[in-house]
Structure 1
Amino acid sequence: MKKEFNIFKIFAIAIFLLSITTSCNDDLNITPEDDQSVLGEDFFQDEAAYKRALAGIYSNLALTGVDGPTSSNIDGLDAGTSQFGRVLVYLQTLSADQMIWSYENDAGTREIQRNLWTAQNPILTGMFGRNDVTIAFANNFLAETTDAKLDARNVSTGTRAEIVTFRAEARLMRALAYYYAMDLFGKANFSDETTPINSIPAVYDRAQLFDFIESELVAIEADLLDPRQNEHGRADKGVAWMILAKIYLNAEVYIGQAKYDKCIEYCDKIIGGGYALATNYLHNFMADNNTNSANSEIIFPIVSDGVYTQNYGPTTVMINGSVGSIEKNGLDVGVGEEGWGGALRVRKQFALLFNGSQFNNDTRNTIISGNRSIEITDISDRDQGYIIQKYSNLTSTGALGSDREFADADFPLFRLADVYLMYAESNLRGGGGMLDDAVDYVNLLRMRAGNPETVTSGMLTLDFILDERSRELHWEAHRRQDLIRYNKFTGGNYNWVWKGNGSNGIALPAHLNLYPIPNSNLATNPNLTQNPGY
């Protein structure tokens, strides 16, 4: 069990206090009915309540409800299709060329991994709704921490100083939610702390969301703590810089403008922020990744704990799911021997990225082939296809996690290795910086992995970077975004097995670069319109 949680020891309290019961049919905007139905005067009489309220915003990334891992505080949504990290992995990874889910009777998964989704897919509803919850929680916190309200409550000088940082973190978390809405859906219900309760939200398109995210993160920078100076799991300047680097890397997709120079600028800030690569690649994905050498590399995690934050989130799913149906290797990763019986495997195109003797001892290559076939001709046959053993519920010293099913491993939403690769790509795309630095950053990752091949400037091409991003960042919720940026997600430039429901892959229409707006959200906000093609 993790001992230094600090703010996250109050997750259960915070999520209870911040739970908003909504209806799948009536209000998946997650708009509070009135000020008192979320958090009001009675709650904030205790000055310690401000930190608990802030914890509730963060907790929405990890927890789904108040009654254990199967509960959901969004009425009409199952916990398995509304846990933020899990649905993010589904939408960014399962939809692309790295992962296959065996149990296609699980709601929404068949459509996502075969690229057949519609506006009724529950995973899409879960992602849209979970983003709206984060925004609602942040807006409520900001509305309750204005100078006027703090004056009226006679809040002490010391607490008010802390609240300045708390407010910046709440705005950052809201910006993070809008970032994922912009990336996945291209639009979002928009509200802030000044939006009247029960009003119909405005809708922001990608350009408006981009401008809002950028301006918010720039505005709050001075009020955030310096990189690596906050409590575990809380945001700081490094997280704000990371989101900015991400939106600049993908600006041509989002707003039709290249901003690779700005991506380089913010990558430089992060690299100079005191982060360092974990000594061992796999430390990033272990049960003690909050305290082992990965603590210096992970810029922002979704916190997971087998006792305090039990949930069916991404690390629990990927650790149990990657246990092989043949191998029954669950004890090797700290869960039950059979895990979830071969729920997850890798697609052929991903496995082929590790072809070549230089990858034989590369620690990023956790593929287990055994006597398996690389081909998956029948998704329901769990014995087909290779498996991997990237995530683990064991610590770096070999100790078991605190629970044999629910993972202690935090999900590394952002980490330094990604920054190195973003810098290299932005340099190659004309964003400036130094080619020698780009080569050095890629080689730092190679050396850390024990790969004997030294990358030269002549080897450093955009296609090489795309492949290296997959080798380094697989199953970390980046792949769909990367393929779209490279114009390889839709169309026929690059096909993978089961792309478009073809066993060998078929071209996808361009409108699938955006997910549809869920029907339930269209029904509750007349300002929302469906994305083209759906």
Structure 2
Amino acid sequence: MKIKLSLGKIAVVICLCAFVTVGCKKFLTVEPIDRLTGNNFYQSKEDVEANIARIYSQFFEKLNESWVMGAIGEARSGEIFPSPTSSGDRMILRDLGTNNMNMVYINSSPGGRSSGYQMYKVGIWDTYYKVIQSCNILISKLEEGIPGLSAPDKDRYKAEATFMRCLSYFWMVRLYGDVVYYTDPYFAQQLGREDMVSVIDKCIADLEPVKDIMPWTFGDASQRGARASRGSIIALLMHMKMWNANFNPSIATKYYESVAALGKELRGSGAHYLYALTPENWAKVSKGRTEESLFEFYRTINYGDQNNAYAPLWDHFLRWPYKFPRYNQQFSIAYYSSVFMSRIYPLNGPADKRKEIWYEDMYANDGLFVLKKFAANVFASGNEDSNPDNTFMIFRYADALLLEAEALANLGSAREAEAINVLNIVRDRAEAPRYTGGGTELKNFIFEERCRELIGEGIRYFDLIRTRRILNPQWTMAPMTIDQYNRRAWTWPLDASAKNFNAKIVLNEYWTSGN
């Protein structure tokens, strides 16, 4: 995410960084209000814009710590392996793929075999709470009143801050399970971790009233996808409700009906659509700020953005001529197992343009495998070691379409025709045969279509968890037992530092009990 700022605004952002860092360091402890907010800070619309920019930047800090998107949303499903030519630190991919998270923590810590990955930082949730507190403070200040801010602008900024707060909670729930939930700006009372279903329901209740306040599009095309919109809120609501439909099955039908309605609303807006699948069009989508994007963290070397060398998910699956320099980029770092690739794209299976545009050597169990899906935007000479200049996509239109189709399929035979129609929007774009069928086969096909369409976007592992397919070796190469699932072996180990300023915090039992 990048918003151009004048020198004066940059100074404001620097000041904001200082007080936000101080205010959140002792999370859930008493801090003087002026240290948390700077009482003279919110004096104009420009100050609010600077604060919003910092909130987006804070969240991205966690994604930029290491191979976060790949580790949390892809590798733990067990289908990703280090190439035979990869160096020793890449063996952490095997630890991730076998859910050996304690070894991931040890090996990625300073001095460990895979210390470059720094995956131990994923277990530290402080930055997410900094984002949440920043959002809470902003909402509080907006309610108090800020000079020169119109009522519509006030409402829109509150909706935007609410979205980022709820995104932070949802992200943490998928990582850690239960979390501490608070919405007060200067909360001093220590609280324990709240049941994740309850947290998500509270976020849904916060988001639904502000959904229609947000615009579908912005006058400035550079903010498309890179800034929260009504489509962003709809996508987050759909994901949260599909998550809770699994963990709160007694009212699953209610969640499915709502997701189906949200998907229909999104399609009816006309604000978002799928680009025709050509190499040129897909390069635009992966670069970012297109009508396919519902929410992303837009990054570009043209703005001087600096990404951690490990952070881009796609880096692991590229080699020359899609990655430079030629002399030391002859092989990809990692590959998706041919067992998995053959399941989603059977050898000699039906036509599908994604196979042509997104892959090279797609069944290779070595460094020849290439996921070209993220390979187009390389701006480097032959001697530079550079990653493609892509966005960090969080929610994409095709993802929302397939969630809608999944919800419809789960509502029974009466809604199957609708589910198939929505599913085939994605199939048609891929120039793949239209689906015909129903029942359990339809549900399974939609899941596999999500595997095909969303590969490498940090979603697959969470789909396995929320659909419980993680329990079945038919769907994953790293299945869990029902006991492991119920004890939340799917969570990420929460770092012990979470207890430093809150004595009520209990760490994730599965990872502290010796399994």
- Using the size of structure 1 for normalisation, the TM-score is 0.77
Q: Does 1:300 align with 2:295?
A: yes
Which segment is superposed worse, 458-467 or 480-489? 458-467
Equivalent residue pairs, number: 477
8 Å Cα contact 1:282-1:364 kept in structure 2? no
Contact 2:69 2:457 in 1 (8 A): no
Cα distance between partner residues in 1 of 2:397 and 2:126: 29
> How far apart, CA to CA, are the structure 1 residues paired with 2:91 and 2:134?
27
Q: How does 1:47-126 map to 2 (within 5 A)?
A: 47-63=45-61, 80-81=65-66, 86-101=67-82, 102=86, 105=89, 111-118=95-102, 121=105, 123=119, 125-126=121-122
* CA shift in 2, pair 1:126/1:184, >3 Å: closer
* Partner in structure 1 of residue 42 of structure 2: 44
Indicate the structure with greater helix content: 2
| Aligned equivalent of 1:509, options 447, 465, 484 | 484
Distance across 2 between alignment mates of 1:508 and 1:314: 37
Instruction: Quote the residue 1:190 is aligned against.
Output: 181
How many angstroms does 1:143 deviate by?
3.0
| Whole-Å separation in 2 of the counterparts to 1:21 and 1:6 | 20
2:315 maps to a residue whose letter is N
* Cα displacement (A) at 1:244: 1.3
Q: Is 1:163 the counterpart of 2:158 in the alignment?
A: no
The 5 A counterparts of 1:446-525 are 446-451=427-432, 453-458=433-438, 461-490=442-471, 492=473, 494-496=475-477, 499=478, 509-510=484-485, 511-525=488-502
User: Are the aligned partners of 2:285 and 2:293 in contact in 1 as well (CA < 8 Å)?
Assistant: no
Cα separation, 2, equivalents of 1:173 and 1:252: 22
Matched, 1:234 2:227: yes
Residue of structure 2 aligned with 1:220, choices 210, 226, 235: 210
1:527 aligns with 2:504: yes
**Structure 2 stretches lacking a partner, 5+ long:** 106-117
The structure 1 residue matched to 2:171, chosen from 180, 196, 200, is 180
Distance 1:533 1:404, change over 3 A: closer
Amino acid in the other structure paired with 1:394: N
* CA 480–507 in structure 1, closer or farther in 2 if over 3 Å, else same: same
Instruction: Please state how far the C-alpha of 1:53 moved relative to its aligned partner.
Output: 0.6
Cα deviation, 1:223-249, whole Å, max 9, x if unaligned, reads 322356673311122111111111222
1:364 and 1:8 mapped to 2: Cα distance?
A: 42
- SS of the aligned residue for 2:393 comes to strand
* TM-score normalised by length of structure 2: 0.79
Task: Sort the Cα spacing of 1:201 and 1:508 in 2 relative to 1 into closer, same or farther, 3 A.
Answer: closer
| Cα shift at 1:130 | 3.4
Give unmatched runs, 5+ long, in structure 1: 65-71, 73-78, 375-382
Please list the CA deviations of residues 181-234 of structure 1 after superposition, one character each: whole Å capped at 9, or x if unmatched: 2222211122223443x5434532213202211111012224322356673311
Alignment of 1:53-452 (within 5 A): 53-63=51-61, 80-81=65-66, 86-101=67-82, 102=86, 105=89, 111-118=95-102, 121=105, 123=119, 125-126=121-122, 128-147=125-144, 150=146, 155-158=147-150, 161-196=152-187, 198-226=188-216, 231-232=223-224, 233-257=226-250, 258=252, 259-274=255-270, 275-280=272-277, 286=283, 289=286, 295-308=290-303, 310-312=305-307, 317-324=312-319, 328-330=320-322, 335-337=324-326, 338=328, 342-352=332-342, 353-359=344-350, 362-364=353-355, 366-369=358-361, 373-374=364-365, 383=366, 386-394=369-377, 405=386, 407-430=388-411, 434-451=415-432
Residues 265 and 488 (structure 1), Cα distance of their counterparts in 2 relative to 1, 3 Å cut? same
Is residue 491–residue 509 contact of structure 1 (8 Å, CA) maintained in 2? no
Identity of aligned residues (%): 17
Distance (Å, rounded) in 1 between the aligned partners of 2:448 and 2:337: 14
- Supply the distance in 1 between the matched residues of 2:373 and 2:310 (Cα, whole angstroms): 10
Greater Cα shift, 476-485 or 225-234: 225-234
Q: Give per-residue Cα distances to partners, 1:404-445, cap 9 Å, x unaligned.
A: 735432122111111221122222212687433322222222
CA contact (8 A) 2:33 2:186 kept: no
Residue identity in the other structure for 2:490: N
Measure how far apart 1:276 and its partner are. Answer: 1.0
Residues 44 and 148 of structure 2 are in contact (CA less than 8 Å); yes or no, is this contact kept in structure 1? no
Aligned-residue Cα RMSD (Å) equals: 3.9
Letter aligned with residue 158 of structure 2: R
Q: Which amino acid in the other structure matches residue 177 of structure 1?
A: S
1:314 Cα deviation from its structure 2 partner: 9.6
The range that moved more, 246-255 or 117-126, is: 117-126
CA contact (8 A) 1:322 1:387 kept: yes
CA contact (8 A) 1:12 1:308 kept: no
Amino acid across the alignment from 2:139: L
Residues in 2 aligned to 1:288 and 1:248: alpha-carbon distance in whole angstroms: 26
Q: Tell me, yes or no, if the aligned pair for 1:282 and 1:390 is still in contact at 8 Å.
A: no
Q: Counterparts of 2:273 and 2:315 in 1: how far apart (Å)?
A: 29
User: What is the rounded CA distance, in whole Å, between the counterparts of 2:353 and 2:99 in structure 1?
Assistant: 31
Mapped partners of 2:30, 2:287: distance in 1? 34
Separation of aligned partners in 1, 2:421 and 2:100? 41
Residue 378 of structure 1 corresponds to none
1:390 counterpart letter in structure 2: K
Rounded Cα–Cα distance in structure 1 between residues aligned with 2:233 and 2:481: 38
